[in-house]
Amino acid sequence: MSAGLSNYDWARARQIMPGRRTSGQIISGRMVSGRTVSGMAKQLVAGGLMLLATSACVTAPTPTPTPTPIKLTAVVFAESAESAAHAAKVVRARITHKLPLIDAVGATISEEQLAALSQNDTVSRIVVSTNENGLVAHSAPDEGVTSWLTSSQARNASNPLLLQYMSDAAPSRTGKGVGVAIIDTGLSASPQFASEIPALVGSYNALTGEQGPIDDRTGHGTHLASLLSGFGETFSGIAPQAKIVAIKAFDSEDRASALDIIDAVQWVLNNRARYNIRILNLSVSASTELPYHIDPLNMALTQAWIQGLVVVVSAGNEGPQPSSVTAPGNNPWLITVGAADYSTDGQWRSVAPFSGRGPTDSGHIKPDIVAPGTLLAGLRPAHAIRPEGEPDHFDAQGNWIASGSSQASAVVSGMIAVLLEARPELSNHDVKCLLANTALPLQGSPDGTSSPFSQGRGFINLKAALTSTDVSCEESLEGSDPAVPVKGAYKPS
């Protein structure tokens, strides 16, 4: 399952442009040329203004209890993180995160402080979540995914098929020396291998801001890492000699703050040389209500791409509806991966029904490619607790069999490690184009999964990518300005 099948609540976020206090500058949700276009956004704006109006027009003498001031979670943007921090301090907001990667700070702030901060000319933008728990992601299983998992309990794990694929594509490659950073739920030993943590060379706990324990309380991160490193005698892994760098950004309830994830991305960039990190895997799904170019998490990941990392993200598990791909899978800079399912003949021939579909709100085809993402056996800590309602599925050896676009993105990250081992000179733009240009389109299935909006360019073809020289593609944004939004040609219906 994808860590974060539900949304961190940018869906209710507001973007406030400081300066003049007009309704055109307090907006939320999807925007076109600065104008609100969603009904939800209009309601939020009206609600915010009504709150200010009623607080200023109380005339009844009846005494009422003093309400507890509402504290909001905000991302404050300025010319630099230092400037943003200074502006927040002036209004006495509590700074929780310094985010130099996006020239911002995270803060908890009251409505009164927000009103004052919006008048500060040094502040370029404020994005505010009205969710009482802040900007969060969590892994409540999607109903469609849960139903699919339940119906698939009798099917076998697809690991032997994946091993055969790797043997055919790159029999002598192991991803040796290539660093893969996995921002997820942490990493722990499993019952099968009590002393074994798969290929771990470095770790960071974004919840505490320290390099320390990264105990995995839900098992998601451990499962993804074990797909790369392998385990026991039955599964040798996709990239068993890659360097796994695990970053914990989710708590024991599988909830994550977007601000912690951004901090994790910053840590990866700060330590990329130390661990030779070439690949960043983030299997999280979030709301696409804000356009990708002003969504703080997407902005951080775009910066990671600009600085040279291959950023691999999942398409989410909210398919098969059109435009169900989630953030950051909606970001045209990144490599977005959907989940492919195997058929009775042992071939991956269709897109899993739960895998997120395009087009994105900005008109881009997503995912970029699809990869094995169903019924993959891997490790899970004994103390791990999965969300209520999610069916447990284990093989005869006690390995956890899981499905999701999260697993598919981890598979692709491992294959990219193999590609970069063989061809270390490749840039992230080169990698993206090689995967796109060599992908194998899935052909006419009855459920319409052959559409580019379901599979992108098609099923990953590592064998061809290892030898191809075609590093130009329309998906490449090399040389583009990340501050300028990229418009796609396909608008959602």
Give me the count of residues in the chain.
493
Q: Count Cβ neighbours within 10 Å for each residue of 139-156 and write b for 16 or more, e otherwise.
A: bbbbebbbebbeebeeee
Active site residue 341: no
The rounded distance, in Å, linking the Cα atoms of 8 and 231 is 33
The confidence score (pLDDT) of residue 173 equals: 97
Nearest to 12 by CA among 36, 23, 28, 27: 28
The confidence score (pLDDT) of residue 135 equals: 56
Active site residue 447: no
The rounded distance, in Å, linking the Cα atoms of 70 and 425 is 51
The domain 9-38+67-135: what is its CATH number?
A: 3.30.70
The confidence score (pLDDT) of residue 28 equals: 32
The rounded distance, in Å, linking the Cα atoms of 222 and 244 is 11
The confidence score (pLDDT) of residue 40 equals: 25
Catalytic position from the list 142, 184, 254, 368: 184
Q: How far is CA 461 from CA 56, 84, 172, 262, in A?
A: 63, 45, 16, 31
Contact 185, 247 (CB under 8 A): no
Please name the helix (run of DSSP H) or strand (run of DSSP E) that holds residue 454, with its range, or none: helix 452-455
Average pLDDT for runs of 10 along the chain of length 493: 36 47 29 24 22 26 58 94 98 97 96 94 91 53 73 91 97 97 92 69 94 90 94 90 95 84 97 98 90 95 98 94 95 98 91 95 96 96 87 90 95 98 98 98 67 95 98 95 91 69
Architecture category of domain 137-465 in CATH: 3-Layer(aba) Sandwich (3.40)
Contact 145, 93 (CB under 8 A): no
Active site residue 323: no
Residues of the chain with CATH 3.30.70: 9-38+67-135
Bridge partners, residue 350, by sequence: 341
Please report, as a single letter, which amino acid is at residue 91.
V
Q: Which residue has the tokens 């940018």?
A: 10
Catalytic position from the list 226, 323, 406, 409: 406
The rounded distance, in Å, linking the Cα atoms of 374 and 391 is 14
Catalytic position from the list 6, 129, 142, 220: 220
Q: Which residue has the tokens 């309602």?
A: 389
Contact 336, 314 (CB under 8 A): yes
CB neighbour class for 388 (10 Å; exposed up to 12, middle 13-18, buried from 19): exposed
Contact 186, 425 (CB under 8 A): no
Residues of the chain with CATH 3.40.50.200: 137-465
Name every residue whose Cβ is closer than 8 Å to that of residue 381 and which is 6 or more positions away in sequence.
Answer: 188, 189, 190, 191, 215, 216, 217, 219, 222
The confidence score (pLDDT) of residue 390 equals: 83
